[in-house]
Amino acid sequence: MHKKTNKIRQDFLTFFKEKNHVILPSSSLIPYNDSTLLFTNAGMNQFKEIFLGQKNTHHLRVATVQRCLRTGGKHNDLDNVGYTSKHHTFFEMLGNFSFGDYFKKEAIEYAWELLTSEKWFNIPKKKLWISVYEQDYESYEIWKNIIHINPEKIIKIGDKEGIKYNSDNFWKMGDTGPCGPSTEIFYDYGNENENTQSSFIENKNNRFVEIWNIVFISFNRISKNKIISLPKISVDTGMGLERIAAVLQNVSSNYDIDIFQVLIKHISTFSTTKCSNHISLKIIADHIRSAVYMIADDVLPSNEHRGYVLRRIIRRALRHGQKIGIKEHFFYKLVSTVINTMHADFHILQNKKETIQSILKKEETQFSATLKKGLKILDYEIKNTKNDTLSGKTIFYLYDTFGFPVDLTNDICREKNIKIDYQGYKILKEKQKKRSFENNQFCKNYNNDIVINDTCLFKGYKEHKTKSLVKNIAAKNKFVQEISNNDLSIIFLNITPFYSESGGQISDIGKLYNKNACFIVENTKKYGNTIGHIGRLIFGKIKIYDRLYSQIDREHRNDIQLNHSSTHLLHATLREIFGSNVYQKGSLVTNKYLRFDFSYSNSITIAQIQNIENIVNAKIRDNIPIEIKELSLEEAKKKKAMCLFDNAYSSIVRVVFIKDFSIELCGGTHTKRTGDIGFFKIISRSSVSSGIKRIEAITGQTAINFLHKKENDIHDISTLLNCDIDYIKEKITKLINTTKHLETKITTLQHQENISQIKNMMKRVIDIKGVKFLSKIFYNYEHKSMRIMLDQLKKLLKVTIVILINIINHRFTIIVGVTKNLINDINAKKIIDKFMEKTLGKGGGKKDIAEGGGKNTKKIPEILNDIEIWIGDQLKNSC
Ligand code: SER
C-alpha cells in the first residue's frame, strides 16, 4: 500500500464525483465576510451560511479539498507543530458535504467504502475504530447493524463536566455557528490483535489516530449558552490529507509522507544537523507551507491581526533555522519546493511565486537586523541585571519591539546563568493581550446577548423611505414589548431602507416615526439575517406591531455614496498606475472621508499622488453613468469584475460598472453618475505595515471646504509674514537664513561665555584629599553648555570631581563628572544617586559622567555642602 499524496487527493474527489457530488474549489484562507474566524479552519467554513439556512444553493452534494490554517483561536495547532507527528498549522482538508440531502447512513457508508474498498483506499477493516457521540444512538446503530462493526470497537463519547454538548464528539466551528454530533474514524497504528477499549481510551503513544470526522450539522450555536435547531440537517465531513497519506504510505508520522520529505530534504541542505528527524526541520517544513499559502491569499507580515500570525510563523521558522545551524537566508528559497509538491492550487501559487519569494526574503532580512539589535540590548541588560534575573519588562520589550521569541531570550540567558522573570513577562503580555482584545473590532459585537432568528427586507438600494412594521424591540439586552424612554434600544423591522455596515461602508442613520412617536436611528447592525436599528426614542411610545415610516438621512447617505463610488475609481486608478498586483487590503467608506489600504511595497511620491487625483477627477468630469447589475459569478468573472474574495459561494452577485474602467463586485450603495462626486482630493498617504499603503481622501463639498481651509491658512500666513501670498516661500527662506545666522552668533557668544565661566570656576577649585573638587550652581544656563564646560574642566583639572547644577523655572538639572583615574574610589553615578536621595529627583548615568534633575531646588546649596563632606569621607575610606 503506497499511494502518493497527490493521487489520494485526486481519488477522493473522483470517488465523490461518482457519488454525484459537485467538486468545488477551495476557498481562500481568509474567510469571506465572517468576523468570527481569523483563518479558514475547516472545509465547511465557506458553506456556513448554507448550513445555517441563510443562503440557498443549487448543489445539494459538494466535495472540496480545502486549504486550512489552525494557528489561533479555537482550533490552535501552532504549539503542537513539530512536537507531535500529526499536527500542522497549514493542512489540506478533504471534505464531502450534504446540504439537506443525504444524512447519517449515506455519510457513514461513503466514508467506509472509500477507506476500505479494494478499488479505493483498501485499508484493512480491522485497523479502523469508531467513536460516536454518546447520545447519537442512530449513528451507533448504523455502525453496528449496517456497517457491521464489532460494538467493542465503537466508543461512545459523552459530555465533559456534565455540560451538554461539551464533548469531543460534538463538533463546533467556533464559539458561535453551525455545530452538531460527530462520528470519527480512527486508524490503529498498533498491533490490532492487542486491543481493548481501554487501550483505545488510554491511547498510549498516540497509537489510535483520528483520520475522518463526520459531523451531522443540526444546530446553530448563537451564543455561549444558547444553541438552536436548524431547519435543515446537513453533513460536513473532514479528513486531513496529510494524516490519511501517512496511513496509505505506511508511515507513522505525517512528516514522513512524500510531500513533506521532499521539503525536509531541501531544508537539510542548508543545515548542519545530521539528524533527519530533527524537530526544527519539521517546524520549518510546516511553517513554510503556511507562509506560502497565507501570502498567496494576500496576507502580509505585519504587527497586527492576520499579518502578525504570519510574522510569528516566519520568525519561529527562522529561529529554528538558527537552531540547526543555518547561517544564510534560506526560507524564501523553499518556496519553489512547496509549490512543486503541492498539486492543489498549483496555478494560484505559481502566479504569485515571485511575490511570495520577495516578501519572505524581505522579512528574513529585516528579522536578521532586528535579531542583531535585540541581541545587543539583551547583552547590555544581562550585564546590568539585578539578582541575576532578567526582568519581565526586558523580556517583554525584546518580544514586543524586536519580535524576539521568549525561548530565544531564555536560551541565551541560560547559557549565561541568568534566570528570567517569566511570570513578570506573562503579566505584561496578558495586559497587552487584553488591550488589543479591547481595541480589536474583530471581536466586538454590539449587544452580544441579543439573538434573533428573523429576516428583514432591505429596500435601501432604491428607496429612502419605506412603510415598516415593528417586529421586535430590544432594550438593555432583553426583548421588550414597547419602549417609552430615551434609553438606547434596538428596533427590528420587516422592511427597511437602512444599510447596515458591510464591505467597509458604514451604516445609515435616520429616523423611524409615525404621528405618535419618533425614534432617532444612530446606527444599524446585522443580527443574523435581520437588521437592528439602534438609537433612542425622542418622543412618544413604540410597541411591537406598530407601523412606522423608516427614513434614512439622505444627506448622510449621499455623502457616503460619493466616497464609495470614489473608492472604486481610486482602486481602478491605483491598478492603472501601479499595476494589477495592487490589491485592496481594507476599505472604510464614511460620510466624511474614505480610507483605502492596498498592497504596494514601494514608496509613493507626491507626483504619483497628484497623478492619481488627476485620473480620478478626469473620470468624475467624464460624468460616467454608474450601472449596477446582478450577474452570475461566472458571468461577473468573464467580465473581469474585481472579486475581492474568490470564495463567495453565491450564484448571483452584484456588480458595479463604471463603464469598463472599474468593474467590481460590491454590495454597497453608489451615486448615479461619477459627476455627482464633484471633486476628489487625497488628504493623506501612509504606510500601514510592510507592503501595505493607505490613502485617505475626501470628496464633494468636504473636499472644497478642505481647500478653503488651506487657502485661509495661507492667507493668514501671508498676513503674519507681512508679504504677498506669491512671496511666502521667498520670505520663509529669508527667515530661515536669518535664524541660522543668529544661531551661529549665539553659539559663538555662548562659547565665549563658557570660557569666562571656566576661568572663574578654576579660581574656586578646592582640594579634597589630593582630588580637585569643584561645584557650581548656575541660573537659567544652557544644559548643553554645562556639558561642554564639564568636559573641558575634567581635561584641565586632570584628577577631579566636578558638579554643575542649573536652576531654571523652579527645576534643576545636574551633571557630575569624575575623571577616570578616580572611578575606582568614587564615581559619578554614586554621587548622582546620593544627590537624588536628598532631592528626590531622578538621575543615572555612567561611572565617569552622570546626569539628573528634579523639582526640589530650595536646599540645593546645603545639599551640595553635605555631598562635599560625604565625598571627603568616601575618599578617605577608599585610601
Ligand atoms: N468540520 C469538521 C472538522 O473540521 C469536519 O469537517 O473536523
- 647 SS3 class: coil
- Rounded distance from Cα 87 to ligand 1 centre (Å): 15
Do 30 and 299 touch, CB atoms closer than 8 A? Answer: yes
Atom of ligand 1 nearest to the CA of 173: 1
State the number of CA atoms in the 13 A half-sphere of 230 facing the CB: 24
Atom of ligand 1 nearest to the CA of 68: 4
Residue from 36, 52, 19, 15 nearest 649 by CA: 52
Beta carbon of 524 within 6 Å of any ligand 1 atom: no
CATH of 764-878, one of 2.30.110.10, 3.10.310.40, 1.10.1740.10, 3.30.700.30: 3.10.310.40
Beta strands (DSSP E) in 369-414 are 389-390
Residues 326-380 pLDDT 10s: 989 999 999 999 999 887 777 888 888 988 999 999 999 988 887 778 888 888 8
pLDDT of residue 33: 66
Statement: residue 74 has pLDDT above 70: no
Beta carbon of 170 within 6 Å of any ligand 1 atom: no
**CA separation (Å) from 762 to 23, 406, 753, 793, 826?**
92, 53, 14, 8, 22
Beta carbon of 215 within 6 Å of any ligand 1 atom: yes
Beta carbon of 392 within 6 Å of any ligand 1 atom: no
**CA separation (Å) from 11 to 243, 742, 771, 780, 799?**
15, 83, 90, 85, 87
- Rounded distance from Cα 290 to ligand 1 centre (Å): 19
For the chain, what is the radius of gyration of the CA atoms? Answer: 35
Which of 189-198, 209-218, 357-366 bottoms out in mean pLDDT, i.e. has the lowest? Answer: 189-198
Atom of ligand 1 nearest to the CA of 214: 5
Residue whose cell numbers read 523652579: 810
pTM above 0.75, yes or no: no
Report the distance separating Cα 109 and Cα 115, nearest Å.
10
pLDDT of residue 879: 37
The pLDDT-based confidence of 589 (bands split at 50, 70, 90) is: very high
Report the distance separating Cα 213 and Cα 206, nearest Å.
17
Residues 115-142 pLDDT 10s: 999 999 999 999 999 999 999 999 999 9
- Domain chopping of the chain, boundaries: 5-256, 259-437, 457-552, 558-708, 764-878
Beta strands (DSSP E) in 528-641 are 530-539, 542-543, 547-552, 584-589, 594-599, 626-632
Q: Which of 16, 93, 234 to mutate to test the pocket of ligand 1 (most atoms within 8 A of CB)?
A: 93
pLDDT of residue 572: 96
Beta carbon of 77 within 6 Å of any ligand 1 atom: no
pLDDT of residue 444: 34
Atom 2, ligand 1: which residue's CA is nearest? 238
**CA separation (Å) from 391 to 174, 425, 427, 612, 622?**
37, 8, 12, 50, 64
Q: Which of 210, 215, 234, 235 to mutate to test the pocket of ligand 1 (most atoms within 8 A of CB)?
A: 215
Beta carbon of 239 within 6 Å of any ligand 1 atom: no
Report the distance separating Cα 258 and Cα 285, nearest Å.
12
DSSP code of residue 81: B
Report the distance separating Cα 527 and Cα 535, nearest Å.
15
Angle at 583 between CA 582 and CA 589, to 5 degrees: 120
Angle at 76 between CA 71 and CA 80, to 5 degrees: 95
Residue 564, annotated ligand binder? yes
**CA separation (Å) from 143 to 87, 114, 117, 268?**
28, 15, 16, 45
Size of the chain, expressed as the number of residues it contains: 879
Residue 21, annotated ligand binder? no
- 55 SS3 class: coil
Report the distance separating Cα 484 and Cα 281, nearest Å.
66
Cβ contacts of 614-617, under 8 Å, gap ≥ 24: 615/573, 615/576, 615/577, 616/566, 616/569, 616/570, 616/573, 616/680, 617/679, 617/680
311: CB partners within 8 A, 6+ apart:
301, 302, 303, 363, 403
Statement: residue 438 has pLDDT above 70: no
What is the separation of C-alpha 59 from the centre of its chain, rounded to a whole number of angstroms?
Answer: 34
The pLDDT-based confidence of 188 (bands split at 50, 70, 90) is: very high
- Rounded distance from Cα 383 to ligand 1 centre (Å): 51
11: CB partners within 8 A, 6+ apart:
3, 120, 121
- The top-level CATH class assigned to 5-256 is alpha beta
Residue from 818, 726, 728 nearest 772 by CA: 818
- 244 SS3 class: helix
Beta carbon of 95 within 6 Å of any ligand 1 atom: yes
Atom of ligand 1 nearest to the CA of 95: 6
Residues 649-680 pLDDT 10s: 456 789 999 999 999 999 999 999 999 999 99
pLDDT of residue 495: 96
Measured distance between the N- and C-terminal CA atoms of the chain, rounded to whole angstroms: 86
- The top-level CATH class assigned to 457-552 is mainly beta
- Rounded distance from Cα 216 to ligand 1 centre (Å): 10
Atom 6, ligand 1: which residue's CA is nearest? 238
The answer to whether 457-552 and 764-878 have equal CATH topology is: no
711: CB partners within 8 A, 6+ apart:
none
**Which is more confidently placed, 872 or 58?**
872
Report the distance separating Cα 129 and Cα 153, nearest Å.
5
Mean residue pLDDT of the chain comes to: 90
Statement: residue 325 has pLDDT above 80: yes
Beta carbon of 42 within 6 Å of any ligand 1 atom: yes
Atom 3, ligand 1: which residue's CA is nearest? 238
Residues 444-474 pLDDT 10s: 334 445 677 788 999 999 999 999 999 999 9
- Rounded distance from Cα 240 to ligand 1 centre (Å): 9
Residue 666, annotated ligand binder? yes
137: CB partners within 8 A, 6+ apart:
none
Report the distance separating Cα 23 and Cα 17, nearest Å.
7
Which residues pair with residue 220 across a beta bridge? 178, 228
Beta carbon of 238 within 6 Å of any ligand 1 atom: yes
Beta carbon of 213 within 6 Å of any ligand 1 atom: yes
DSSP code of residue 643: -
Q: pLDDT above 90 covers what percent of the chain?
A: 67
Indicate the helix (H) or strand (E) that contains 112. helix 104-116
Residue 670, annotated ligand binder? yes
Report the distance separating Cα 344 and Cα 722, nearest Å.
70
Atom 4, ligand 1: which residue's CA is nearest? 42
Beta carbon of 218 within 6 Å of any ligand 1 atom: no
- Rounded distance from Cα 173 to ligand 1 centre (Å): 8
Which of 221-225, 537-541, 655-659, 701-705 bottoms out in mean pLDDT, i.e. has the lowest? Answer: 221-225
**CA separation (Å) from 77 to 123, 298, 698?**
27, 22, 44
Beta carbon of 44 within 6 Å of any ligand 1 atom: yes
Q: What is the CATH number of domain 558-708?
A: 3.30.980.10
Statement: residue 436 has pLDDT above 70: no
Beta carbon of 492 within 6 Å of any ligand 1 atom: no
- Rounded distance from Cα 58 to ligand 1 centre (Å): 22
Position 544, amino acid: I
Report the distance separating Cα 685 and Cα 606, nearest Å.
9
Statement: residue 415 has pLDDT above 80: no
Angle at 520 between CA 517 and CA 523, to 5 degrees: 145
- Rounded distance from Cα 19 to ligand 1 centre (Å): 20
Residues 534-577 pLDDT 10s: 999 999 999 999 999 999 999 999 999 999 999 999 999 999 99
Averaged over 697-703, what is the pLDDT?
96
pLDDT of residue 79: 64
Q: Is 13 left (phi over 0), alpha (psi -120 to 50) or beta?
A: alpha
pLDDT of residue 443: 30
- Rounded distance from Cα 131 to ligand 1 centre (Å): 15
Do 349 and 338 touch, CB atoms closer than 8 A? Answer: yes
